[in-house]
Structure formats: structure tokens, C-alpha cells
Structure 1
Amino acid sequence: MPVNEVLQGLADELKDLLNANVADDARLVQKGMMLYRQGLVTQLRFENGEYTAVVQDVSPAKVRLDPEFLGMSDCSCPGEELCRHQLAVFFAAYSKEASVSDWLAEWREPVRETKSVASWGLQAAKDLVKAAGLMKPDYDRWVQSFESSFDALVASKKHTNPYVVSELFGIHMKRVGASAPVEKEWRLLYELVASVVSFRKLLVLSEELGFEEHVVRKAYGHCFENLLEDSADFVERLVVQTMPFAFDEFIERLRDESHAVLTSAAGYDIERVYMHRMLWTELFRKKEWRQEEAIRIGARLKALEESENPLPFSAAMIHLYFLLGNDDLALKLAGGVPDVRFVPYMVYWIDYFTGAKLWRRVEPVIEMFLGRLKEYLDGLESYQSCSAFVRSVMRSIAPYCSENGRLDLYERALLVSLPYSFADYEYLLFERGDYDRWGELQAFVGLDFYDLPKDRVKVVEKERPEVLLGMLHQTAQKEIDQKNRGSYRAAVRHLKKLRTLYKKLKRVDDWEYFIEGLLERTKRLRAFHEECQRSKLI
């Protein structure tokens, strides 16, 4: 690929990576631009597909910039990620191919657009508040007002900048709050309906705008999160008080809105299911309502087109059957869901049953979950994602295992989750005194002898010294294979430790047989033999 195309690709990647609306990113670009404009980038070269340069900052920084794989770039400064020195080198390289000022103007354009649209939105919101006034209890009028406000403020423009949506949505929610009823008991219900309707409208708009889901999550994903948190808070406050009979019609109408949240748009599966599940768990408690909703979702599932994802509907329907106490049917349906992305939904049911101490009901869910966990972990993109998920899983399973004496189940969960559960499993085996399996675990994850915690080694050496033999053999051989003087010295230190352990175990013959064979195999490695003699190993 020609240099200019590669560099242009990096320019586009940096525009996506750095958000002009985020203060930290704006400062980083500003500092990099300052270093470049002051002429502090020197010795700029392009070799083997990479840019190298020295940036004369407070102390000189040596930079290697990989334009095709930015994450492979590095800098000698203490910063761990993209730093001002790497940006300065990018600007210096880019200036030889195109205009840095044009890049900067294009990068800043979303900020100007956001400010301009936000100014317009504030004025429009004032006009809407004046027109609507305070809202009296009327469900249809409430919904019409919320939808009109959303359409006028958020959906009226064809957005090219997803960050504009966040600004305008915030203005919409402030406008909705300004028209809330004065009566305290009605205000809470009004805010809940506003949150659910606005959540649905935002889902539909996101689908219409056609932004990639990862772009939406970065630009205004917090809007969805805030609505979910607010809705859960409103519901929690509603259910702890005695609701007047006048609320009944509003609650019943809100059921249809919750169904629309689940069915009116594609994508954002976790958010849609969370909102639907929360409302049906906490607010809509009548048995016949839950039965009707399960039937409605089942009919929707049967009518799905091939391009539609059945997962959120399956998860919602299974949850309703759990709420109805029909665990057999719920588990049967769950077992028939082939999509491995279904696995995280099962964690909620584990937490739900555990919180209510329904141990008999949670056990089959845990068993089914563990049967599919490894497949799910294999599909995740990063080690960090896997580790974070496993930590949450172990927290969910631990109460059941502790209360019911099911250490075997907890250990099975740790085994299935390896290597991401290594720290917890290592601690469990060591505290239990199962040093043989502890040693096997260390070998499984590839740890060398010198990687082991010294306090652990002292205990194992005293209680079960033979456990350490295999790791010492393996580590010593790895050092010998490095074939340099420093690694030979390290190998000798491990071999001396091996000799001590063999003597302690009264297996001197085994040691002598091993060392004779090793010296014979390495007879051409003169430096290694010299280190053995210097340390009086032979």
C-alpha cells in the first residue's frame, strides 16, 4: 500500500479514536499540535512501514509510529497509550502529504456542530415548554407530549454527527421535566412514563440513523444507561408506596409501552431486555398480565423474519416463565436457545434466585450456565473482557455454593473458567492444602518457578517438596535453551535448588542420574559447564 494511503488511513483512525467533545482528547491533540508546530519533531524517517522520530520535549522522547497498526506503536515516555509525542510525529509525517490544518478543522467540526445544534435545541425547548405548560394526569396527553418533544428536538434533523444526539436528548429530557405535574405522587409516575417512552423513541431513532452500534455506544450510549437507571429508581420508589387507584389505568397502559420497547427496534438487545425485564419483575406483578405478555412474545417469536434476531424475545419470554414459577418450561426454552450470546442473560437469573435465597430453583440454572460458559468465553474478543465476566460470574455463584456446601460446583466453575479464574482457583487450592493440584495449575498456565509467590513456595517446599520438582526441571531447561551466559547462571541456581530438594526427599540416586544425563546432553555448551563448575554443582 502506498505511503500516503497508509498515512491517510491513520489520519482517519485518529479522527475516530479521539473525540473532540472529550476534554482529555482535546488536550492531547492540542499538546501534540504544539510540539509539532514548535518544530520539536526531529530525525523523522519512514522505514519498514514505520515512522521513527525524536521529539524534543522536557526530555527527548523516541517514538516509533506504526501507521497500519497504531496499537503496535510505542514511545520512550512514561505514557502507556497514545501520547502527545506520537501525535506530534503523526502531524509531522502528515504535513508532508496533506494539510494538518485541514485535518484539525475536520476533527473539530463535530464540536462546532454540537454547540450550534445545542443552542438551537435550547431555544426550541423553551418554546415547547411555553406551549405545553404543566401536564395534568392524562396518559395519552403525556405520551403525545413526550413524542412531540422528542420529534421536535432530537429527531427533526438528519444527524451526521452522533454526538449531537446526546446534546439534544439531554435538552429533551430537561424540557420533559419542566412540564411535570406539581403533585408529588403523579410526578414520579410521569417521570417513569417519560423515561420508558423516550427510551423507545431513542431506540427507533438510532436504527433510522444507521450508525454502527459501537459508534452509538461511544457517542450517546450513556443516554440509554441513564434512562435504565432512572427507570429502575422510579419503579423502586413507586412500589414501596401505596399507589392510588387512579394509577391503575396508567400502569396498565404502560404494559403496552414496555412491549413496544422490546419489539419496536432491532439492536441494543441487552438494553431492551433490561428495561422490559425490570418493569415486569418489579411493576407488573399480576399473574394474568405476565401470562398474556408471554403469549404475545411467543407469537412475535413465531412471526420473526430470518433477518431478525430472536435472542431478546427468547430471553424476555423465558424470564416471564421464571416469574410465573414455571421453571421447567423456562429451562426447556433456555436449553433450546442456540445463540451463545444468551449466556450472560443467565447470570441475571442466578442473581435473581440467589437474592431471594431460592436455592432449589437456582441450581439447575447454574448447571446449565456452566455447561455453556466455556463456549461463550471462547467467543469474547479480549482477555480483559473474559476476566471481567468471570469475576462477575464467580460473585454470582459463590452465595449458592457457600450456603449449600457445594464447593465442588464452585471448583467446577473455576475449572471451566480457566485461565481467567487462575487467581481464585490458585487461592482455593492453596488454602485447602491441595498442593499437588496447585502445582498442576501453575504448570497449566505456564508459570515458571521464579514466577511463583515466594511465601507460597516456602510452604509447599515444607509440606510437599516433590510438587516443585517438575517446575524446577522445566524452568532450568528453558534457561539452558536460551544459550547465553546470564541464562546459564539462572539455570544453575535452579539446578542447585533441585539438588537440595532431591536430597531432602532422600532421592539422591535420582538426582545423580538426572545431572549425569543433563551434562551429557549439553556437553557442547562449554559456557554452561563452566557455570556448573564455578557454582560447584559438579
Structure 2
Amino acid sequence: MEATQQILSLADELGELLHPNTVEDAKLVQKGLMLYRQGLVTQLHIYNETATATVQDVTPVRVLLDFTFLGMSECSCPTEGWCRHQMAVFFSAYARSGAGSVGDWVAGWREPIREQKAVSGWGMQTAKDLIKANGVLKPDYSRWVHSFEVSFDTLLATKKYTSAFVIPELFGIYERRIHASAPVEKEWRLLYELVGIVVSFRKLAVLSEQLEHTEDVVKRAYLHLFHNMMDDAEELAQKIGVQTTPFAFDEFIEKLKDDAIELLTASHGLEYERIFLYRLLWVYFFKKKSWREEELEKIRVRGKELQDWENPMPLAVATIHLNLLLQHDELALKLMAQIKDDLFTPHLVYWIEYLSQLKAWKRAGPVIELFVQKVKGYLEHLGAYHSCAAFARNALRSIMKYCVENDRADLYERALLAMLPYSFADYEYLLFERGQYDRWGELQALAGFDYYDLPKDRVKLVEKERPEVLLAMLHQTAQREIDQKNRASYRMAVRHLKKLRTLYKKLKRVDDWQYFIDNLLERTKRLRAFHEECRRSKLI
């Protein structure tokens, strides 16, 4: 049962990692499916958290799937990353374990394409009619918002089309409609598009909740729409920031400020995305100190009205953000420390990045310290290896700016340690470059690497500089091979034992070697095949 659950978890992770609209991913799934259906996956063994199999392709390849850490899966073919052979073994393991039907998994994965084809062309005439009716809209904030809301409701908020997988197509039609009605003047067009993003973001978040789409469905079907709007809003903020804006903008910005709080309260899903857009607006557009103070009071009042079932996190994050903008760092840090929810941790990365851009190093340091304390719990909550590795990579990039500027290698190393195993590559590189070979060897052993997994160039250098570092790993690798109890693994074990003997001699510790080999032979005296291999290699 446990293996089945792990395979189901792997199936979900692959559903996130591979996208049916990407040509390469679609081909990879198709080729893996063909190999599986042609019966070319053989010698499948599912054991604990792994599966091994042989795939008969042009030449036979050996595959290892790691259900827990997708990145640790291996294939003997030359392809880097996830390949068709691993895909075929996944399908075979999925079917064997009783996790479900392979056909159903593939159909579910491809559903977005089928739904999009079904709806393509729908609503185009509606969009054209709306453009003819409204024409190009002159600058008027209330009219803009009304136009966006009417267009959105007409094109998306209908009971007839509620499938999550048609939303991207319909939203594309809606976007083309609002772009067609944008003001001609460049500066007004940019502001129009920004207001459009805020309204569209809020409307889509509310629609998602009304349609009761789960987080997983949103992620698979149309989460990218929210991320695109976040990217577009950031780009617009930069463009508007470098140009001279008319005084008439002030009224629009103030009205947008009054509506922005709805991003926090209008729906309950898409928490991170809603908070991101809210924070961006308050950084770039709503800069007056009095506005920020008034907003804090609004949030305080709204917080008192929260029902038991409502999530207080968006309002809490907004409160911290506004206090940081007002440079009330002591209060902001106190509020950060009080939040126990692991999902709060990604927001710290945003503030680290923000303060680093300002080169406010004294202010960024305490936020990084708090992040290091909280990150382990968040990674445990996140679970999926691919997601954890991506988060760790981005977080380290943000932290590094501070650590380099302030000569805080110690803090960077603490962050690496807190994010293991997802920070393994960065930490391994750091220790090796520093020449801390003892700790480098310990890290390799902790990660479960065998001696023959290590890069040859690094092993060569460590053997020259600190050969004793390799002893523990060779002992560990040789024992693992002996434990396999087959002739091929005994031969591999003997190879490692011969290397061990060479290193002991180099270190002038022949007595230690003799003591070890005598004990080993005594412990394994029932393994005749192993002793035969030892004699053949003149270890005995």
C-alpha cells in the first residue's frame, strides 16, 4: 500500500513537471507510452521507495526510479534528465502497483488540449460585438472597471462553460477584447492595462472559487494566467516609473489604491499570487506615507471582522509589508516571528530580495536569519522534490547577494545546511572549493553516494590531498556491494577493497587494513563466492 501511495505521489509530480502543451514533453510521454504498450519494459522490481527495470529500446537500458526524490532517478541512456525510458518504467510501475489505469492517467494529463480545442473559436464573435459596442474607451477609471467586469462576465462567467481547461482559451479572448479598447496615448494605455490586470486578477480568482476548482486543478489548467499577469504588472510598473505621468494620473492611482485591498479579501485561494500583486502595487505606485498608514488602519479594522473560517495570512502579510515600507522594521520582524504557518516562508524571500535591491543590508540581515530558522518546515510541507529544489535555488540566489556584500559566508552556509538535500549541489561545490574535504566527504556519505558515483576529477584531487576522506566512503560502498549477495556485486566489492588497501598503504596504516580485512573475512565466511573473488584478486 505504501508503494502505491508513493507512485501516486510520483504521478502527481510528473503531472506538474510535464506540460501537454509543450512539444518536447508531449513527445516524451508518447514515446514512453509506446515502449510500455509494446511490452519492452522487463525485469520490473518495486522495492520500498524505488523501482528498477530494463527497457529494450534500440539498445537495452537500465532504469532506476526514485519515488521520493524524482531528481535521484537514473537511466543508463545518454539523455540528460527525465527520459522516455523512465517514463515507460513509470507507466509499468503505475499499472503493476494498482495505482490506476495508465490510459486514464494519460487522458487526464492530455485533458487541457482536448478542452482547448473544443472551445476554440467560441466567444470570438461576442468579443467583436463588445468592441463595436464600446469602441476605444477614453480615460475614466469607473468606466474602465465597468467595461472590464462586463466583458469578463460575458465571456467567462457563464454556467455553460465551467471546465477549468477552457478558461485559458476564454481568458485569451477576453484579453484581446480589452486590449482592443485601450486608449491610443501611450501613457494612458499603460495605466489602462495595469488597472485591467488588477480587475482581471480579482475577477478570475473569484470565479475560480465560485466554480470550486481545487488547487491542483487550477495549477494544471490556468495558474499560468495569474503568473503572466504578475509578470505583466511588474513590467508595467517599471515602464510607468520611468516616464513623466500627467497630473490626471493621481486620481486614477488613488482609486486603484482603494480597490487594491480586494486582492486580499475577495477570494480565499491563490494566496501567494494575490499577495504578490498587492505588494507590488504598494511598492511601485502607492508611495505616500499617509496612504500606507491609512491602509494599515483599514487592514486592522478588516482583521477584526474576519470569520473563524477565513485565512488571516493575507492581511498579516500585508501588515508586515506596509510596516517594512514605512521602515518600522522592529515591529515587522516581531510580526514575522509570530507567524507559525510554514506557508509564510516564501514571503520572506520576497522581502530579502526587495531589501537587497535597495542595498539596505542592515535591514535585510535579520530577515535572512529568520528565513533560515523557518525554511526547513516549509520544505517539509512542500514535499515534492522538484518544487523544493526550485525553491531552494531561488532562495539561495536572493540570500547570496547579502552574504557576498557583507562577507557573511557563515550565514550562507547555514542556509545551505537548512535546505539540504535540495541545496546539495551548491553546498558540495562550496565545501570542495574551500578545500574542506572532510566535510565534503561527510556530505557525500550523508547523501548516500557511493564511491563510484563521485566525479573522477574530484576523487583524484581528494586522493592526493586528503586520501583518508575516501576511506569511509569506500568501506560503505564495498559493504553495500557485499550485501547484494551476487557474483557481480562481489566483484565490484573486491575492486573497492583493493582501492582501500592501496589507500591504507599510502597512509602507512597497513595494520589497520589487515585488522579490517581479517574481520571482514571472518564475518563473511559463509559467503563462499565472495571469498573466491577475494582469492582471485589476491586479497587473501
Normalising TM by the smaller chain, what interval?
A: 0.7 to 0.9
The 1:370/1:157 distance shift into structure 2, 3 A limit, reads same
Cα offset, 1:130, TM superposition:
1.6
Cα offset, 1:41, TM superposition:
6.9
Cα offset, 1:340, TM superposition:
0.4
Pair 1:79-2:81 in alignment:
no
Preserved CA contact (<8 Å) 2:32 2:85: no
* Equivalent residue number for residue 302 of structure 1: 304
Preserved CA contact (<8 Å) 1:523 1:529: yes
Q: Deviations over 1:271-320 (max 9, x none)?
A: 10111011100111101111111221222223211211111221122111
* Equivalent residue number for residue 181 of structure 1: 183
* Equivalent residue number for residue 145 of structure 1: 147
SS at structure 2 position matched to 1:346? helix
Equivalent residue runs for 1:35-54 within 5 Å: none
Preserved CA contact (<8 Å) 2:33 2:87: no
Aligned residues: 497
* Equivalent residue number for residue 368 of structure 2: 366
Could you tell me how far apart the structure 1 residues matched to 2:443 and 2:168 are?
Answer: 48
Could you tell me how far apart the structure 1 residues matched to 2:313 and 2:410 are?
Answer: 31
Could you tell me how far apart the structure 2 residues matched to 1:517 and 1:105 are?
Answer: 57
Preserved CA contact (<8 Å) 1:479 1:487: yes
The 1:105/1:380 distance shift into structure 2, 3 A limit, reads closer
Q: Deviations over 1:421-441 (max 9, x none)?
A: 222111111111112112211
Equivalent residue runs for 1:340-355 within 5 Å: 340-355=342-357
SS at structure 2 position matched to 1:446? coil
Which of 327, 330, 346 is the matching residue for 2:329?
327
Cα offset, 1:233, TM superposition:
1.8
Cα offset, 1:343, TM superposition:
0.4
Could you tell me how far apart the structure 2 residues matched to 1:121 and 1:334 are?
Answer: 46
Preserved CA contact (<8 Å) 1:499 1:511: yes
* Equivalent residue number for residue 225 of structure 2: 223
Which of 508, 513, 516 is the matching residue for 1:514?
516
- Supply the AA of the counterpart residue of 1:377: L
TM-score relative to the length of structure 1: 0.81
Could you tell me how far apart the structure 2 residues matched to 1:28 and 1:501 are?
Answer: 45
Could you tell me how far apart the structure 2 residues matched to 1:231 and 1:443 are?
Answer: 46
The 1:61/1:308 distance shift into structure 2, 3 A limit, reads farther
The 1:29/1:452 distance shift into structure 2, 3 A limit, reads closer
Could you tell me how far apart the structure 2 residues matched to 1:464 and 1:30 are?
Answer: 49
Preserved CA contact (<8 Å) 1:159 1:209: no
Pair 1:280-2:285 in alignment:
no
* Equivalent residue number for residue 6 of structure 1: none
Could you tell me how far apart the structure 2 residues matched to 1:316 and 1:25 are?
Answer: 38
Could you tell me how far apart the structure 2 residues matched to 1:461 and 1:468 are?
Answer: 7
Preserved CA contact (<8 Å) 1:353 1:362: yes
Cα offset, 1:327, TM superposition:
0.6
Cα offset, 1:267, TM superposition:
0.5
Could you tell me how far apart the structure 2 residues matched to 1:104 and 1:519 are?
Answer: 52
Could you tell me how far apart the structure 2 residues matched to 1:468 and 1:449 are?
Answer: 8
Could you tell me how far apart the structure 1 residues matched to 2:384 and 2:341 are?
Answer: 19
Preserved CA contact (<8 Å) 1:180 1:191: yes
Could you tell me how far apart the structure 1 residues matched to 2:526 and 2:114 are?
Answer: 71
Unaligned runs of 5+ in 1: 1-8, 49-56, 63-70, 91-96
Preserved CA contact (<8 Å) 2:29 2:87: no
* Equivalent residue number for residue 50 of structure 2: none
SS at structure 2 position matched to 1:523? coil
TM-score relative to the length of structure 2: 0.81
Which of 369, 376, 379 is the matching residue for 1:377?
379
Cα offset, 1:351, TM superposition:
0.8
SS at structure 2 position matched to 1:537? coil
Cα offset, 1:82, TM superposition:
5.4
Could you tell me how far apart the structure 1 residues matched to 2:421 and 2:305 are?
Answer: 42
* Equivalent residue number for residue 479 of structure 2: 477
Pair 1:421-2:423 in alignment:
yes
Equivalent residue runs for 1:476-515 within 5 Å: 476-515=478-517
The structure with higher relative contact order (CA 8 Å, sep 6+) is 2
Cα offset, 1:517, TM superposition:
2.1
* Equivalent residue number for residue 156 of structure 1: 158
* Equivalent residue number for residue 254 of structure 1: 256
- Supply the AA of the counterpart residue of 1:531: E
Unaligned runs of 5+ in 2: 1-7, 46-55, 62-69, 78-82, 96-100
SS at structure 2 position matched to 1:123? helix
Which of 438, 441, 450 is the matching residue for 2:440?
438
Could you tell me how far apart the structure 1 residues matched to 2:501 and 2:441 are?
Answer: 19
Q: Please say which of residues 386-395 and 446-455 is displaced more in the overlay.
A: 446-455
Preserved CA contact (<8 Å) 1:28 1:84: no
Q: Deviations over 1:27-85 (max 9, x none)?
A: 8999999999xxx9799xxxx9xxxxxxxx998999xxxxxxxx9xxx99972465799
* Equivalent residue number for residue 264 of structure 1: 266
Could you tell me how far apart the structure 1 residues matched to 2:26 and 2:273 are?
Answer: 30
Preserved CA contact (<8 Å) 1:110 1:161: no
- Supply the AA of the counterpart residue of 1:183: E
Cα offset, 1:532, TM superposition:
2.1
Superposition RMSD in Å: 4.1
The 1:189/1:496 distance shift into structure 2, 3 A limit, reads same
Q: Deviations over 1:244-274 (max 9, x none)?
A: 1111111100002211122111100111011
Could you tell me how far apart the structure 2 residues matched to 1:319 and 1:33 are?
Answer: 48
Cα offset, 1:457, TM superposition:
1.8
Could you tell me how far apart the structure 2 residues matched to 1:84 and 1:510 are?
Answer: 44
Preserved CA contact (<8 Å) 1:61 1:85: no
Pair 1:454-2:456 in alignment:
yes
Preserved CA contact (<8 Å) 1:200 1:261: yes
Cα offset, 1:488, TM superposition:
2.2
Structure number, greater radius of gyration: 1
Cα offset, 1:213, TM superposition:
2.3
SS at structure 1 position matched to 2:261? helix
* Equivalent residue number for residue 93 of structure 1: none
Could you tell me how far apart the structure 1 residues matched to 2:424 and 2:106 are?
Answer: 46
* Equivalent residue number for residue 122 of structure 1: 124
The 1:495/1:211 distance shift into structure 2, 3 A limit, reads same
Preserved CA contact (<8 Å) 2:320 2:332: yes
- Supply the AA of the counterpart residue of 2:147: S
Q: Please say which of residues 341-350 and 134-143 is displaced more in the overlay.
A: 134-143
Preserved CA contact (<8 Å) 2:355 2:361: yes
The 1:436/1:198 distance shift into structure 2, 3 A limit, reads same
Q: Please say which of residues 114-123 and 426-435 is displaced more in the overlay.
A: 114-123
Could you tell me how far apart the structure 1 residues matched to 2:76 and 2:511 are?
Answer: 52
Percent of residue pairs bearing the same amino acid type: 60
- Supply the AA of the counterpart residue of 2:301: A
Q: Deviations over 1:399-441 (max 9, x none)?
A: 1111111111111111111122222111111111112112211
Query: Which of structure 1's runs of 4+ aligned residues deviate more than 4 A?
Result: 16-36, 40-43, 57-62, 75-78, 81-87, 103-118
Cα offset, 1:160, TM superposition:
3.3
Cα offset, 1:454, TM superposition:
1.8
Could you tell me how far apart the structure 2 residues matched to 1:486 and 1:32 are?
Answer: 30
Q: Deviations over 1:171-210 (max 9, x none)?
A: 1221111122222222221121112111111111111111
